[in-house]
Amino acid sequence: MVVRIRLSRFGCKNKPFYRVMAADSRSPRDGKHLELLGYYNPLPGQDGEKRMGLNFDRIKYWLSVGAQPSDPVERLLFRAGLLPPPPMVAMGRKGGPRDMRPVDALTGRILTQEKPDSTSHKEDDGEHDTTTTENP
């Protein structure tokens, strides 16, 4: 049995509320689960913060026995400090080659390499190759 740590949706229409569950990978999204591990409310509260509550001990246990977190849960666990940042790749234009430059995990922006300073160029000695050809 392959165990996944994933989100199960609760709440009303346009007001989602998710529970973090450990469940068999073959069971439906809102179906039978093995254990409730926490919750996630994506709608900001009065203070403007999204609410999340996780049982760290049980999540560490399920990860240690081989449970695989889903992509959204992996991002939540990264924000909570339980997992390293998930690999991110910048997406290119539709149908074009993918951009493989590294992306900052916190901001989602592409990391740029430092450009050399313009003052570090070699100074001109005044000698240039000025050979010209004249057409008769």
Structure confidence by residue, pLDDT tens digits, 55-68: 889 999 999 999 99
3-state SS class at 113 = coil
Residue whose pair of structure tokens reads 């070699």 in the numeric block: 122
Helix, strand, coil % (nearest 5) of the chain? 15, 25, 55
pTM (global) more than 0.85: no
- Quote the CA–CA distance of 111 and 109 in Å, as a whole number: 6
pLDDT of residue 85: 80
26 contacts: CB under 8 Å, gap ≥ 6? 2
Dmax of the chain from CA atoms?
Answer: 91
Domain ranges of the chain: 3-83
Q: Strands 68-69 and 3-12, how do they pair?
A: parallel
- Nearest C-alpha neighbor of 80 from the set 65, 64, 69: 69
Share of the chain above pLDDT 70, in %: 71
Q: What CATH architecture applies to the domain 3-83?
A: 2-Layer Sandwich (3.30)
Give the burial class of 59: count Cβ atoms within 10 A of its Cβ; 0-12 exposed, 13-18 middle, 19 or more buried. buried
pLDDT at 132 over 80: no
